Amino acid sequence: MVLSQGKCGVTKGISIYLMSMAMADLLAVLFCVIIDVLCYEYFPFSFLFYRAVCSANAILGYAAIDCSVWLTITFTFDRFVAICCHNLKARYCSEKTAAAVVSTVCLVNILRNIPFYFKYQPYGTWGGVPWGCDIRPEFFILPGWVAFFWLHHRLNPLIPYLLILLFNALTVRHIVLANRARRGLRAPSNRHQRGDAEMVNRRKSIILLFVVLGSFILLWMTKVSVFLLMEITNNHFYPSYDHPDMIADISGTMLFYLSSCTNTTLYALTQSKFREELKRTLKYPFTLIRECIPTSK
């Protein structure tokens, strides 16, 4: 809501990326946390347990997580182009390109998660209606499902993990080399003077990239490690919820759900104008109430 007002000092293209990332994060929290945890735990006999409904919720949950991750990657690539590829910057870093990229990412991630609708079978019937969602035993056996599962887990989390590392590493390297060249071109008497606005902005960019990169790596490390362990041992089932691998898998899932919300916050809160607009927005209801209260003369 704050970004949509266009008063945060960022381009429209960046605003589109940040708003779409925030929306994907919100949907991920809604479908993967609120519905899965609160509704299924505390309202087990609601309409959400119809097989069609919980299967559709699985599609939306997987799609929201994938959109959150891949929109973060596309925004990281946009910043990489803006900083490192000056010849491509004018053509790629635009509002039109941002809207096209966001639309494509969302559409592709929704379509590629549709097979998850057929991943589940009902626990049974209740009043003639299929009830509950249980994973089909053949999901990890049939070649088609195995290929889909293999591709899905490489598109998220393995490939995003590597791309985030690559783009941020290349961006930081470019900034460091540019800083060295700038110091070399400055007059010897001015090299140790402070106040170079360009150097300060680049230093802030490096700090932001390292914070985002570190957050992404730490929050995804458990999930990626469990995924690699499952692939190496070819074991996708656990005997009980007390099994160490199951505990690690659930913990990793919780952490990467959290990762869906951190990057947008980090990108936005580092902008001073965004913080000012956020404070103004939070104060607005109280300001409105104060203006509506008649003052005594």
Residue 123 within any structural domain of the chain: yes
Q: Give 181-232 as a DSSP string.
A: HHHHHS-GGGTT-S--HHHHHHHHHHHHHHHHHHHHHHHHHHHHHHHHHHHH
Per-residue pLDDT tens digits for 92-111: 989 999 999 999 999 999 99
Residue 16 within any structural domain of the chain: yes
Residue 275 within any structural domain of the chain: no
> What percent of the chain stands above pLDDT 70?
86
The residue that leads in pLDDT, 34 or 238, is: 34
3-state secondary structure of 241: coil
Per-residue pLDDT tens digits for 107-136: 999 999 999 888 888 887 777 777 878 888
Distance of alpha carbon 2 from alpha carbon 56, whole angstroms: 31
Residue holding tokens 């900034």?
Answer: 175
Q: What is the mean pLDDT of the chain?
A: 80
Q: Band the pLDDT of 199: cuts 50, 70, 90.
A: low
Residue 182: CATH number of its domain:
1.20.1070.10
What residue numbers bound the domain in which 42 lies? 9-270
Is 188's pLDDT higher than 60? no
Residue 238 within any structural domain of the chain: yes
pLDDT at res. 7: 78
Q: Is the separation of the CB atoms in 55 and 120 below 8 Å?
A: yes
Distance of alpha carbon 188 from alpha carbon 292, whole angstroms: 61
pLDDT at res. 99: 94
Q: What backbone torsions phi and psi does residue 134 show, to the nearest 5 degrees?
A: -120, 140
Q: Is the separation of the CB atoms in 124 and 132 below 8 Å?
A: yes
Residue holding tokens 């993967």?
Answer: 32
For the whole model, what pTM was predicted? 0.82
Record the tokens describing residue 169, joined without a space. Answer: 């590493």
Residue 285 within any structural domain of the chain: no
Tell how many helices (H) and how many strands (E) occur in the chain.
10, 4
Distance of alpha carbon 79 from alpha carbon 83, whole angstroms: 6
Residue 2 within any structural domain of the chain: no
Structural domain tally of the chain? 1
Residue 47 within any structural domain of the chain: yes
Mean pLDDT of 173-195: 67
Record the tokens describing residue 130, joined without a space. Answer: 């299929």
pLDDT at res. 253: 81
pLDDT at res. 110: 93
The residue that leads in pLDDT, 66 or 239, is: 66
Residue 278 within any structural domain of the chain: no
